[in-house]
Structure 1
Amino acid sequence: MSEFQGRWKLVSSERFDDYMKVIGVGRLARLAARNSPVTLNISVDVDRVVVRSSSVFKDYTLQFVIGKEFEEVTIDGRRLLTTFFFEQGHLIQQQAAIEEKDVNSRITRWIHEGLLYTELQAGDVKALRIFKRLH
């Protein structure tokens, strides 16, 4: 898990708008999120992880313990039952809908050649966001 620690800046994004549509994010919020530079600050203390996301659109902090389900209120206000687990170098975030109108989602993060890859999947739609470590 320690390889995820640090500050990361978004450098590439593919199909993120499509993903946001599927999970129910409105048009104006999608526009703001799509055009806003994002910086992540990830800290790890044994099995407790804190991810702080900063952007012009909105700041968001997510704290969790690996393997322990919790109720997450997402940056766009959805309530989900979320569990993080670590599998073969991948940090996986499983989001289960609480309300009927919401959609299940899976977010997989991994490090490759110094970059943080984030694959977001809801239904048949997959998006990919790539972050570069800031020094």
Structure 2
Amino acid sequence: MSAATLRPARAVQPAGRLLFSLFVTPIFAIAMLAMAVLTAPAFAHDAKPTAAKPQGWSYPFACCANYDCRTTHTGEVLEKPEGYVIAGTGEVVPMSDKRVKDSPDGDFHWCAHQAGLDAGKTICLFVPPRSY
């Protein structure tokens, strides 16, 4: 017997299995990568540092979706008997509204749809301690 007859024959991969490995495997890899990206923890963006919070602080993701919050300028949010009035839109956010949050740095912060543009609708409003 020769050495060639003692070696096992090399298996030929069926065409269907070749197609599976060429097309399905990369699709599976892309799907797994997409799942990893989509299930990664979402991080909120940060408020700018202030004297009260020199390290800054993070807006909750539910309020900002990474771009909808900003510190307001003086007079943009007015404290009135009916609630907090957003001067640019006239929107009134009652003080008991669930969108009203305590401000960690003592400044007003407005989170609104449309990236905080004056035409936006309030998602969250961070307010300093109430005046007496």
TM-score for both structures, normalised by structure 1:
0.27
TM-score for both structures, normalised by structure 2:
0.27
Query: Which structure has the highest strand share of the two?
Result: 1
Query: Which structure has the highest helix share of the two?
Result: 2
Q: Whose RCO is larger (CA < 8 A, sep 6+)? A: 1
- Give the number of the structure whose alpha-carbon radius of gyration is greater: 2
